[in-house]
Amino acid sequence: MIGKETPILTVDIQSALEVVGTCEPDLEEPPSDSSITQWAQLAYATVRDQPSEVTIRLVNETEMEGLNQDYRGKQGATNVLSFSVELEPELQAEFDVVLLGDIVICHSVIIQEALEQHKSVENHYAHMVTHGILHLCGYDHEDVQSAKAMELLEINILEKHAILNPYIQ
């Protein structure tokens, strides 16, 4: 049973930004683990009420390029990728919580997009964390109707963090 002290979403944050030979020292620091966790937890609690765990990994362009190529067949780095965990019911039953999946965020792409879109890096991160959580919860933007529904949900969630509509520049 979950008490008030226990978050409905446990967030594990990993940073691979300081890997030898791939460090990007000229870039702004990513937001705090606390901020990333708060964004993820609010997004999740908006659409789900079952205890769950997610891993959020911050990576450099080299790692993101490899993931994008391997899993989507696309070249270059992208801003965020989501990887759902899909376990057989018998295996999932062995866990106290649902293993939601992994979100991978490319730090340098987020910074570049924030500059291009005249947004703060922090607000763009909040959007990408929210976007990734919603993907893991089954939302997508494969067609116009789904895209509009997902965007509206993102706008409403981000508004709770006092972040303006990310789709208006």
CATH of the domain at 123: 3.40.390.30
Whether 143 is in a domain gets the answer yes
The parent domain of residue 118 ranges over: 9-20+29-159
CA dihedral 6, 8, 12, 17 (to 10 degrees): -120
pLDDT number for residue 47 = 96
pLDDT number for residue 96 = 78
pTM of the model: 0.89
Number of domains in the chain: 1
Whether 60 is in a domain gets the answer yes
Tokens of 113: 């997009």
Whether 1 is in a domain gets the answer no
3-state secondary structure of 8: coil
Whether 16 is in a domain gets the answer yes
Whether 167 is in a domain gets the answer no
pLDDT number for residue 20 = 40
Whether 165 is in a domain gets the answer no
Residue 169 is classified by DSSP as: -
Tokens of 22: 């791939």
DSSP string spanning 156-168? HHHHTTT---TT-
Name every residue whose Cβ is closer than 8 Å to that of residue 126 and which is 6 or more positions away in sequence: 31, 35, 39, 158, 161, 163
Contact 163, 123 (CB under 8 A): yes
Whether 4 is in a domain gets the answer no
Whether 77 is in a domain gets the answer yes
pLDDT, one tens digit for every residue, the chain (169 residues): 344 555 799 999 999 986 444 445 556 889 999 999 999 999 999 999 989 999 999 999 999 999 999 999 999 999 999 999 987 888 777 877 888 999 999 999 999 999 999 999 999 999 999 999 999 999 999 999 999 999 999 999 999 999 999 998 6
pLDDT number for residue 2 = 45
Integer Cα distance of 31 and 82 in angstroms = 19
DSSP string spanning 15-84? E-TT-TTT--TTSPPPPPHHHHHHHHHHHHHHH--S-EEEEEEEE-HHHHHHHHHHHH---S--SEEEEE
Burial category of 86 from C-beta neighbours within 10 Å (exposed 0-12, middle 13-18, buried 19 and up):
exposed
pLDDT number for residue 6 = 59
